[in-house]
Amino acid sequence: METQRILMRSLAVVFIASVIWTITADAEHNVKVKHTCCTEVSTAELTDTITGFRMQYENLPCVKAIM
pTM above 0.75, yes or no: no
Selection from 44, 41, 35 nearest residue 55 by Cα = 41
Kindly state the average pLDDT of the residues 23-36. 60
Is residue 42 very low, low, confident or very high in pLDDT (cuts 50, 70, 90)? Answer: confident
Q: Are 37 and 56 in contact (CB under 8 A)?
A: yes
Q: Whole-angstrom Cα distance, residue 26 to residue 18? A: 12
- Region of 46 please: left (phi>0), alpha (psi -120 to 50) or beta: beta
Is pLDDT above 70 for 27? no
Helix (H, G, I), strand (E, B) or coil at 66: strand
Task: Please determine, for residue 6, whether its predicted confidence score (pLDDT) is greater than 70.
Answer: yes
User: Predicted confidence band at 14 (pLDDT cuts at 50, 70, 90)?
Assistant: low
Spatial contact of 18 and 30, defined as CB atoms under 8 Å apart: no
